[in-house]
Structure 1
Amino acid sequence: MTVAQPAAIRRRVEAWLADKDDPAPAIALRAQPEWPDAPVLSINGTTVRIVPCPTPLAARAALHERAGGERLVLLTELSNDDLGEGLLAHISEQHVRTVDIWDVAMQMFEAKTVDPNLVKRSRWAAEALITYAPAGKWPVVQGSVLTRDHALRSLTAELLGLDRDEIDGAGLIQWSTDAARVLRLSKLPDTLITGLTSYLVEVAGDVAVPVVAAARAGNGADAVPLGLLVGVLWPAPAGKRMPTGKRATDTAAARARLESWFGGHRLTDAEARTFSAAAETWVDRAIGVEGGSAEANRMLARAEHIAREVDATSLLDGSNLLPAGFAQRIRDVAAAVRLAVPAAGAADESRIAAAQVALVRLGEHRGGDPSRLETMRMAVRLLRWLAAPDHPQPANLYEALQRQVHEDGWVDRARLDIFAGDTDPQVAEALHLLHRAVDARRARHDHQFAELLAAATQAEQDPDKLIRVEDVLDQVIQPILATGRRALLLVMDGMSVAAATELAESLTRVGTWMELTPGGGPRAGVLAALPTITDVSRCSLISGRIAVGQQDAELKAFKQRFPQGVLLHKSKLRGQAGTAIARDVADALADPGVPLVAAVVNTIDDALDRSDPGTTVWGSETIPSIRDLLMLADGRVVVIVSDHGHVVDRGPEAVHRPSPSSENRWRPADPPAGEGEVLVRGSRVAKGGGAVVLPWREELRYGPRKAGYHGGASAAEAVIPLLVLTDGDESAVPGWSPAPVASPPWWRESLSVEPSAVPAAVPARRPAQRKPQAQSESLFDLAPDATAEPETPPAPAGPDLVAELLASDVYRQRRDPRAPLPDERVGALLRALIAGGNRATMDTLAARAGIPAGRIVGTVTALRKLLQVEGYPVLSVDPDNVTVKLDRDLLVEQFHLGGR
């Protein structure tokens, strides 16, 4: 017989004293007649004396010596017969009671029976339930049985300071962030901690083992940082790279050094994966909670500190969350970019593919700087551009202008990002090297453009298909008004083609506005007046002829052309406090009697003087007046154009050249044009008596330093973007139709290179599809579009799964007879997905299938419905509404393909 447990005795006595119908002065409990604690207790105001009674005489003496009001607890191994009827008459219930610890537990939970599974599997919990009972009482059981889960969940909640409903993996990780609660666990007996761990594994999973092990070792408050580090050091899920060579050796050594943080416990792979996933989930959740970012950052910093202590810093590129992981990965991309920049001759596509793979890995990091990631995206895009053959010199100015709109404007957009650079010296070096290579090709293009511009201007060539700035009102605005429709003309002072690509994406992304282009073909561009300054080109735009002037001249010319129209300059747009747009402006936009409202928006041009146009992403958020005006457009066709583009200051690379005038990017014709300059003369030159010298090299300037400049003959300054938007009326502009995808293939699609051709220094994984900006969402046209030229996707290898699908009975039954997607369009979309590894961006699908950009979202929606047999997602779209994924196996299964 064991020595009586004080906690069990006390609980037994408390139950006895609570029975007001039992006035007996003593209770006899079967136990060894030993008592290690103080002999006198006070229980709920009653004095209780504990008396070991090895003999009947000892029991009799205790009763005889009992003080008035005192109650006795007789601990004895004697039987009822040994004590005799005389003594038993003074004892509660006149017999010796047993002290069954589970009976005590049942009393505390107000249960009538105990779950046999609890008694059999969790003996360690019996004493703990009594010893660590809360000041109030344990949660009463529902029913009559004290179940194992009820007892252990209650005990665990009490010992860990958790709510009963928080006892799971997430709750345990959250608990570990409270050092005071973790300390409570570390002070518990080892036997009890072992039992608790066993139960926690049942309810919280394998994550309980490392968390409790760290707590026992005094490192429980570091559970989240340890979990983040474990995610780096333990094998990744199937399908990911496994460490080899020196990395494998370093990983094994770091894991061994980390064992001491878990008290010598060696984590299993399952424990490590569950632990790391729980830690990463905690960080993700903390970052999403207001005020949680600081705590999350503290955990990340602590994880990196522990990594230094176990000499694992070089391995942190394996983390998708730690800042050091992002830093190492961005350097990996930079190293791949540096190797891929062509020193001379053609680019090495396998090295570009390696850079794409490194970029994908960088994109998988969830804690990096989005702007730095975007810069590296731009760098890889530019590598792909460099890999594409440089087309022959344009035959005429129109071709040169179109090259700026369709190719080089996108290059300029990416080039501005890498020009802005990065703070990491290794990354900066790679970007500088790439920028030099891109600049070399762009300079050739600018030189070609400037020579063609000078020749066409001097020859007074007929514009033919080329739209000049003075012709925009006649060729674009007037045809809209002639149909009885109203228009809103937005003149974005200083907007380049590069800036327009960003603005168009921003405005069409939400699906309200659809872009139209001539004949549903590529975007059109406009040629600025010369020199490309506001006084000349904007006045010529609004006057409808080559003219020079400021706001007064523009207002006079506009009123002569459109007597019922309204022209608004910057100062007229802003309303009173609390009003985004002036009331008279809003009234004009809503007035059906005002056919044309024109507004000059100076946001971009102002940035050339006082801001940094090279790092600004031009969109509805950075140009709020556009957002506000479009909200009030009231069914108008919106035409967005600029008066000229711009170039940015080149910093230490800039070249200041003396000039007789103070203009930044143009000067008089004397002295003659030198290196990087071109003489331009003709009727479209409105300054210098019809002859000026314009720089075509972007780094040249004549005047004071600013953030950006305009006036010269580079394509970025002289080519004006032209955007036409409608809120659904596809016939709003005669001869114009829904636009195709505007971006060139190298912008949106990775190079397809066999994995075996990718250099071994970078893991040979298939490059994932890039994520460009989302395109506009609109209703789709189910009929094939004859004007959109589909791009030719790579031919898929193996049997023609798409042809088999189109011929299948299930597919035929699912086609909607009221508005069927044409089979050729379904085939084109699916082949594009299969060619891209069963995934593709919306842009890629639209371009490959010849679908206007504004209809692709609706078309994909219809395709999803067509392929979704019994609700199974054969086709899915990422939450960003950019990437479309095909579940090829599910497609085969649902449509019974391949002999199924």
Structure 2
Amino acid sequence: MSVPVSAAQPDAVRRKVEAWLAENDPADAIALTARPDWPADPVLSVNGTRVRVVPCPTPLAARAALHDRADGERLVLLTELTDSELGDGLLAHLSKQTIRKIDPWDLVRQMFGGVKDLDPTLVRAGRWVANALSDHAPPDGWPAPPGAVLTRDHALRSLTAELLDLPAAELDDSGLLQWSTDASKQLRFTTLPDVVAEGVTAYLTGIAGRVAIPIMAAVRAGHGVDVIPLGLLAGLLWPTDGRAGQVEAAVGRTRLEPRFGGLTLTRDQAEALHEAAEAWVYRTVEAGDDGRAEAMRMLRRAETIATEIGITGLLGASTVLPSGFVQRLRAFADAVRLAVPAAGPAVPAAIARAQSALATVEAHRAAEPRRVETARMAVRLLRWLGTAEDPAPATLLDALHRQVRQDGWVDRARLDVFAGDPDPQVGEAYRLLHRAVDARRSRHDQQFASLLAAATGAETEPGALLRVEDVLDRVIQPIIDQGRRVLLLVMDGMSVAAATELAESVTRSGAWVELTPNGGPRTGVLAALPTVTEVSRCSLLSGRIAVGAQQAELKAFQQRYPTGRLLHKAALRAGAGSALDPEVLAALDDSSVLVVAAVVNTIDDALDRSDPGTTVWGEDTITAVGDLLTSAGDRVVVVVSDHGHVVDRGPEAVVLPSTSNENRWRPATEPAGDAEVTVTGSRVALAGGTVVLPWREEMRYGPRKAGYHGGATPAETVIPLLVLTAGDDSAVPGWAGAPVSSPDWWREPLPETPEAPAQPVSGARRRPRRPVEHQPEGLFDLMPAASTAAPAAATEPTPAAPDLVTALLASPRYAQRRDPRMPLADERVAALLRTLLGSGDRATLDTLAARAAIPAHRINGTLTALRRLLQVEGYPVLTVDPDGRTVHLNRALLIEQFELEPR
């Protein structure tokens, strides 16, 4: 009795017939052991030969098939009979005089170019491999193996690539993730028998890693196109750090299982899928606008799935999902709200918690740069509020310097916070912060206005105070007297806050060095009153208090500098293809033209018809500055303005009646109110020498604009002064390389304390100023996280820090390594190292320069010398983080290399 066998597969029969015909066997028929069942077309054409397939359940059927065979036709008899049951008479007409078996591995050899040997591990993989190779052979055949042996990897890689319609070289985790985005390519895999699908998955796991299991499970469950969104969520559902949300994560895991066909992912599989999905997002974003759009689609889909399975509360742990960024920003806003003082200075512990929350915001890879910058400004303002308020300034000069060295930086930060955030919860925190900052700044504004009125009315000699009408005599002329030519840039309307941005932009590359009086802090200039262009700019260019428009300025300037050139906006403009008018370039190049003065109206123009509060003022936004500096040659560049400005306060504005249509000053026809001050004296050039000026920023008299000037606030009255040279910090006698200009609270975080531990966003792992460049969808800053994060919070100095530095300076190896030709002063080495040791072994370049009293432009060179001094046998004791501005000290290596024993 015959043994039951399986049905013959059409492809397998065809391959067997091809092999039979290749043998040049003269027999007319071949009998194959198979179930006598043939659902396909009985007539095959194999290499030009007509072949008929005949099911033969009995010897009689076989005999009939042989009898009815047409001339030139070959037969394939499918039968379950044995040789003895078929009989010698029929066997004599068959190939090899026997019933032959369909050996799938013989077919495999044939399909791979007739290889002689098979890898034993391939055969042990199972018959399913041979059947699948036969059933799914591509029209052009399988690629021949590189050697005489068909290896398991070559066979399975070829099969898997064919079934997934994916190049063999892309059978890795990234290739599978990309494959999952194409639903059409997944269809074939979803229809495979379980044994084949499981075998292919097992092979993929071996070459692509554990990520293959959840990917292929999701594909078979019909959720393949959601693999990347599911992967982005997987990292939130298998928390490893004991953070909050464990119950929510457990529920989410259960609800996610059906999308993987019931597969319960292991922690390792979930982690692998999550890492691969995030890596896909990063790669795709870098592919350009189309990639960004595709990545954003996946991110939004992940958020939709999160809503469907009820885990939106965990999204703050994601470093890429936009909702995670919003959650982190809201958590930061909560920290800001708690840190805003009701009265008195802000509490350091609360500020430190806000700094910690900011770090989680900065770590988010989908963080919107302008919103992160606003958050940074909020923390800076908190640190400022945490400083003790100094006594009221005794002189107008003291008040002016407070604006240049402290409050101007406050103004820069609060412009961002005032502009706010689109999220109402975050915006409310910023509103509270801005109110607290305004309360303190208003006291300063009132103090300044009182001193301004008193000094102006007293007609006192200026002394060290630099007035706008003195700039030509006290700044420009001494430079000329030293044989240097000058480029005077008059930035109409530039406030101290705007000047801090412009200075950073101009000096960032190192091509221009800022100078300050005797290398000390920046100083400023006092505007003429009222602080309007026709008064203060004309006074600047005349060298005396004067009133007038461009013609008056030109006449006065020409009288003062007969060979000089004064260029207004129209004179700077050039024709097509040129950034500057040829006459401007000629004047800058002419050695006989001692002073070229250029009026740049970009900021003042913005007060009328733009948005000065949300613009970052730099060479990108004031292009004329960059063009003029490029052509300045060896000229000393002096940058001033004629007055500053305040921005419109929107619904917070207070409009007062006035007989004039001026926005920020009025004639003294009525007494000054509570928020006003009466100013009289020879420096008041309008209204007969007596005017009423508001000292509160939100007040105005005239029509609404984007910004205003004319009043008595230091933001309007204090003029920034920047002196720049092309790398020569000894160009101007009495001036030297400027120190770091920003105050400590601007750049240095408060130390973490036990009372203020890091507060991660719930479930987190651990301006709105318009950027010049367009940020599509606000999606990603794909630089490494360290490039955007704030410097690490400083820690309290350790008791060993001073002893360690002392031991280093006294060590024999240190003495050996000192360069006798260009020694780095011991006191400077000590200051730098003590700063690092006292700040958790990390500090920014600005902090190092400020603490060690090094001019800002020399800190890079000094750091290079220090690294060379401390780098024994090539081991780096000092390194710079990828952000390019944070220095890290390897304390243990320092001790080891110099054989120090901290006490």
Calculate the TM-score normalised by the size of structure 1: 0.91
Q: Deviations over 1:454-494 (max 9, x none)?
A: 11112222222221111112222222222222221110000
Q: Measure, in 1, the Cα distance between the counterparts of 2:313 and 2:269.
A: 23
Residue 798 (structure 2) pairs with residue 796 (structure 1): yes
Question: C-alpha distance in 2, partners of 1:212/1:864?
Answer: 51
Match of 1:410 in 2: 409
> Are residues 227 and 669 of structure 1, via their aligned partners in 2, closer, same or farther at CA, if it must alter by over 3 Å?
same
- Partners of 2:836 and 2:446 lie apart in 1 by 40
SS at match of 2:613: coil
User: Could you tell me which residue of structure 1 aligns to residue 263 of structure 2?
Assistant: 265
Is 1:882 the counterpart of 2:885? The answer is yes
- CA shift digits 1:51-105 (9 cap, x unpaired): 4567877656544432122222345678889989987775556666553322322
The answer to whether the aligner puts 1:48 opposite 2:51 as a matched pair is yes
How far the C-alpha of 1:498 sits from its partner, in A, is 0.3
Corresponding residue to 1:229 among 210, 219, 233: 233
Note if contact 2:19-2:110 (Cα within 8 Å) is conserved in structure 1. Answer: no
Question: Is 1:520–1:740's contact at 8 Å kept on the other side of the alignment?
Answer: yes
The residue type equivalent to 2:484 in the other structure is R
Q: CA deviation at 1:597?
A: 1.3
Query: Which range moves more in the overlay, 388-397 or 427-436?
Result: 427-436
Residue 895 to residue 714, structure 1, CA distance change in 2 (3 Å): same
CA–CA distance in 2 between the matches of 1:407 and 1:619? 20
- Paired position in structure 1 for 2:284: 286
* Aligned pair partner of 2:152 in 148, 151, 156: 148
For 1:647, the equivalent position in structure 2 comes to 646
- Name the SS for the 2:446 alignment partner: helix
Match of 2:74 among 56, 71, 76: 71
Q: What are the within-5 Å matches in structure 2 for residues 62-101 of structure 1?
A: 62-75=65-78, 91-92=94-95, 98-101=101-104
Matched, 1:275 2:277: no
Pair 1:371 & 2:388 matched: no
- What per-residue deviation string (whole Å, max 9, x for no partner) do you get for residues 363-409 of structure 1? 11121322122112111111110010000011111111100001000
Q: Does 2:105 match 1:102?
A: yes
Instruction: Name the residue aligned to 2:478.
Output: 479
CA distance in structure 1 between the aligned counterparts of 2:379 and 2:542, rounded to whole angstroms: 43
Quote the residue 2:516 is aligned against: 517
Q: Tell me which residue corresponds to 2:560.
A: 561
Q: Is the 8 A contact 2:316 2:764 kept in 1?
A: no
Contact 1:566 1:598 in 2 (8 A): yes
The alpha-carbon deviation at position 263 of structure 1 amounts to 1.5
Say which is worse superposed, 370-379 or 877-886, in terms of deviation: 877-886
Q: 1:99 to 1:13 in 2, by over 3 A?
A: closer
Match of residue 570 from structure 2: 571
Please list, as runs of the form range in 1=range in 2, the aligned pairs for 1:438-477 lying within 5 A after superposition. 438-477=437-476
Q: How does 1:88-487 map to 2 (within 5 A)?
A: 91-92=94-95, 98-110=101-113, 111-121=115-125, 123-236=127-240, 241-244=241-244, 247-290=245-288, 291-487=290-486
More displaced, 664-673 or 488-497? Answer: 664-673
Output the CA distance in 1 between the equivalents of 2:298 and 2:733: 61
- Asked if the contact 1:186–1:216 (Cα under 8 Å) also holds between the matched residues in 2, the reply is yes
Distance 2:825 2:624 in 1: 41
Tell me, yes or no, if the aligned pair for 2:357 and 2:758 is still in contact at 8 Å. Answer: no
Aligned CA distance change for structure 1 residues 201 and 862 (closer, same or farther; 3 Å): farther
Percentage identity across paired residues of the two chains: 63
Q: 1:673 is matched with which residue?
A: 672
Match of residue 697 from structure 2:
698
1:693 is aligned with what amino acid?
V
Unaligned 5+ residue runs, structure 2?
767-783
User: In the TM superposition, what is the alpha-carbon distance from 1:733 to its structure 2 partner?
Assistant: 1.4
State whether residues 409 and 716 of structure 1, in contact with CA within 8 Å, keep that contact through their aligned partners in structure 2.
yes
Letter in 2 for 1:856: I
**Partner of 2:860 in structure 1?**
857
Q: Match of 1:785?
A: none
Cα distance between partner residues in 2 of 1:379 and 1:134: 63
Name the SS of the counterpart of 2:612 in structure 1.
Answer: coil
Equivalent position amino acid for 2:460 in 1 = Q
Conserved? CA contact 1:664–1:711, under 8 Å: yes
Deviation at 1:512, TM superposition (A): 1.6
- Give the AA of the match of 1:229: L
Moved more, 86-95 or 370-379: 86-95
Query: Match of 1:243, SS?
Result: coil
CA contact (8 A) 1:176 1:223 kept: yes
2:16 to 4, 13, 18: 13
CA distance 1:770–1:764, shift in 2 (3 Å) = farther
Query: C-alpha distance in 1, partners of 2:540/2:601?
Result: 15
Ranges in structure 1 where 5+ consecutive residues have no aligned partner: 776-791
- In structure 1, how many angstroms separate the alpha carbons of the residues matched to 2:705 and 2:269? 59
Q: Deviations over 1:394-443 (max 9, x none)?
A: 11111111000010000001111111122222112111111111111101
CA distance in 1, matches of 2:83, 2:827: 97
Tell me: CA distance 1:220–1:812, structure 2 relative to 1, closer, same or farther (3 Å).
farther
CA contact (8 A) 1:201 1:209 kept: yes
For 2:777, the equivalent position in structure 1 comes to: none
Task: Tell me the residue number matched to 1:780.
Answer: none
2:18–2:46 contact (8 Å) kept in structure 1: no
Contact between 2:751 and 2:796, CA under 8 Å: does it hold in 1?
Answer: no
Aligned letter for 1:548? V
Deviation larger for 827-836 or 336-345 = 827-836
Q: TM-score, normalised by structure 2?
A: 0.91
Check whether the contact 1:8–1:99 (CA below 8 A) recurs between aligned residues: no
Counterparts in 2 of 1:67 and 1:815: CA distance versus 1, 3 Å: farther
Equivalent pair of 1:676/1:696 in contact (CA under 8 Å): yes
Aligned residues: 877
Residue type at the aligned position of 2:651: P
CA contact (8 A) 2:315 2:763 kept: no
1:224 positional shift: 0.9
Q: How does 1:699-714 map to 2 (within 5 A)?
A: 699-714=698-713
What SS class does the counterpart of residue 614 from structure 1 fall into?
Answer: helix
Q: Is the 8 A contact 1:11 1:104 kept in 2?
A: no
